[in-house]
Amino acid sequence: MKHSKPIVVSGFWGRGNTGDEAMLQRIYDFLSPTMPVTLSLDRHGAYDGFWNWHPYTQCRSVHQLDIGPVEPDRAAALHIGGGGLSFSFNGAQLIHAILSNVPILVSGIDFPTIVGDAHVRLRSTTEFFTQHLAFVSFRTRWSYERYSMLSRKAHLGADWAWDLPMGDVPDGISIEENTVAIVVREENGPELAFGEGRIELLAQKLEALGLRCLFVPFSPEDAREMRKYASEQRLAEVCECWWNPQAVKAVLAKCRLVVSLGRYHPLIFAASLGRPVIYVETPRIPWQLKITTICHDLQLPMISLSDAVDDPSRLLREADSYARLNRGFYSERLDDMKHRYMSILKMIL
């Protein structure tokens, strides 16, 4: 029998970011058999038509500035995460939940300093948040170890999207055996800007090796940028299904190689499938630390952009050698996170 009051699940939802939508789907699939789910998101920044995607069609969604849904008589708990979210994410509902003694669970996130939440370096501030958290679990060992220096409450978990089911490749998209999926984050700085030639040159050199390049955007913003590479240089097609993470995962599953420049979840998708994948380090950007820490956790290869352009065959060599590694430990961490989460949730309800 389901619990009568819903759990409010807050995150970077409704934007069409493939990684966030993947995490949301797995969180919803995990929680919905036990209790109703209410999704909390920024409706002003959401992508038009998000309400037609899964799981938005299955449950109620509210704006993050609306504190009514986290009143104690209307919410069983507040969930925040996963992803690169700081403890102060969704401050309005978070503070109201604290003041109202509504249980708060945070999971699948990075240590806050990775995403610029520098104020939690202060022990007193961290302790304030920690004492109000029923559960806090981190998706990388780096994050877990640093938070453990400040609190005994830390749990070593995993990224919620790790066990995302695989869907179908979209109609009209052909994935040949020699296909290389290239994912370029749209905010990578001047070295990767359209027209600077770095992405174009890398794609041309990969094509010269007998590979077929396919741009696979992980957000609508990524798609806008990748269309420029594809149309202006006539280098590759663009496979746009960013709003459907299970379809994106199906595309990557058929690729010879996955190359990520600035995006986190292509690494998660490909590693969980055992596919060759490599991260090309971009200019030092705020979110790069969270990517390098997951690469260390999962033992994924990294290469500089200049080295990738100078010797593109190295992408294949290194990705192939790392693809054979057993990453079952990460699945075990995810299972343990789910088990502990549900045990705590049942205890506080």
Residue 233 has pLDDT above 60, yes or no: no
Pairing type for strands 135-138 and 237-238 reads unpaired
State the DSSP string of 46-96. SPTTGGGSTTTTTSEEEETT--GGGSTTT-SEEEE-SBS--TTTTHHHHHH
Q: Is it true that the peptide bond before 55 is cis, omega within 30 degrees of 0?
A: yes
Q: Which of 17-21, 119-123, 244-248, 281-285 has the lowest mean pLDDT?
A: 119-123
* Residue 235, pLDDT score: 62
pTM to 2 decimal places:
0.94
- Collapsing DSSP states into helix, strand and coil, what is residue 182? strand
Instruction: Assign 66 a pLDDT band (cuts: 50, 70, 90).
Output: very high
Please say whether the beta carbons of 6 and 76 come within 8 A. Answer: yes
Please say whether the beta carbons of 275 and 258 come within 8 A. Answer: yes
- For the chain, the average pLDDT equals 90
- Collapsing DSSP states into helix, strand and coil, what is residue 152? coil
State phi, psi for 261 to the nearest 5 degrees.
-120, 90
CA atoms 48, 51, 53, 56: torsion sign: positive
Please say whether the beta carbons of 277 and 192 come within 8 A. Answer: no
* Residue 225, pLDDT score: 85
Q: Which residues of 162-181 are buried (b: 16+ CB within 10 A; e: fewer)?
A: bbbebbebeeebebeeebbb
**Rounded CA gap, 77 and 40, in Å?**
12
**Rounded CA gap, 282 and 259, in Å?**
12
Other C-beta atoms closer than 10 Å to the C-beta of 11 total 27
Residue 296 has pLDDT above 90, yes or no: yes
